Amino acid sequence: MKAPKSIQPLIADGLVDEVIRPLMSGKEAAVYIVRRGDEVCCAKAYKTVQQRGFRNNTQYMEGRKVRNSRKARAMEKGSRYGREEQESAWQNAEVDALFLLAAAGVRVPKPLNFIDGVLLMELVVDADGNPAPRLNDLVLPADLAREYHRFVIGQVVRMLCAGLVHGDLSEFNVLVDGEGPVIIDLPQAVHAADSNNTFELLERDIDNMAAYFGRFAPELLTTRYAFEIWNLYEQGKLTPESPLTGEFERDEKAANLGDIMREIDDAREDALRRKAYAEGLDED
């Protein structure tokens, strides 16, 4: 096929020899199957912010530090330079996340190169060598749904131990190759320690997985992994090997308003008695 405009610079530089066919187009990027030498891989061409359907990225950008003060000021002001830098930061976030998570043992596509807004990475294939399907394309037996759910929760834990939360995890962002689930699409990943929204994003990721796998194994719908994982993380006890049950009891005992008001009244009366006593001493 004719190379799309976004891939042409890579062909000119000899990084890609041929565009075989489109693989998918999503809210953030268009993905193509390409050949470079004897290797077949993916080329993910990011869309601009004007083209993306995923524009509300405030809660994701909060967890990203920009060390260069000039860039940070420009991004805050929304100048043309600032917008360009924000786009660059958005795209580089996935590249950085893939390298970090691959090193941490998370099942993600292996990144190969990144140039001119195009990410070259491993093509994830199924047992027959065809491009791997997304979870959303599968109908799973209950036992396999439980197995995959347990594995994905383990990957979420491993990601958090590496300092990241996916932030947009769903059945559309997980592929299934010959060995099981592979997590994809990470430009919105946030650094757990730097964001006020970390638990909210973690909980949503885990709830999305429970909702999907719960179609095939309904008992997964009542699991509470997000609270269990977060509790361990906040205590500094979370590791990739932490045993999880999916159960967690929060202290949800409602405060007794009557008792609280009585304590306030008693404190007020004590204060008045002390004041009256002090005033009596002054009169003496």
Catalytic residue (choose from 17, 177, 185, 259)? 185
Q: CA–CA separation, 185 vs 172, rounded Å?
A: 9
H/E element holding 274?
helix 257-283
Say if residues 48 and 87 touch (Cβ distance below 8 Å).
yes
Say if residues 209 and 135 touch (Cβ distance below 8 Å).
no
Residue 129, φ and ψ in degrees, nearest 5: 85, 5
Catalytic residue (choose from 96, 168, 205, 207)? 168
H/E element holding 275?
helix 257-283
Residue 225, φ and ψ in degrees, nearest 5: -65, -35
168 is catalytic: yes
Within 8 A by CB and 6+ apart from 283, the residues are none
194 is catalytic: no
Q: Which residues are designated catalytic?
A: 168, 185
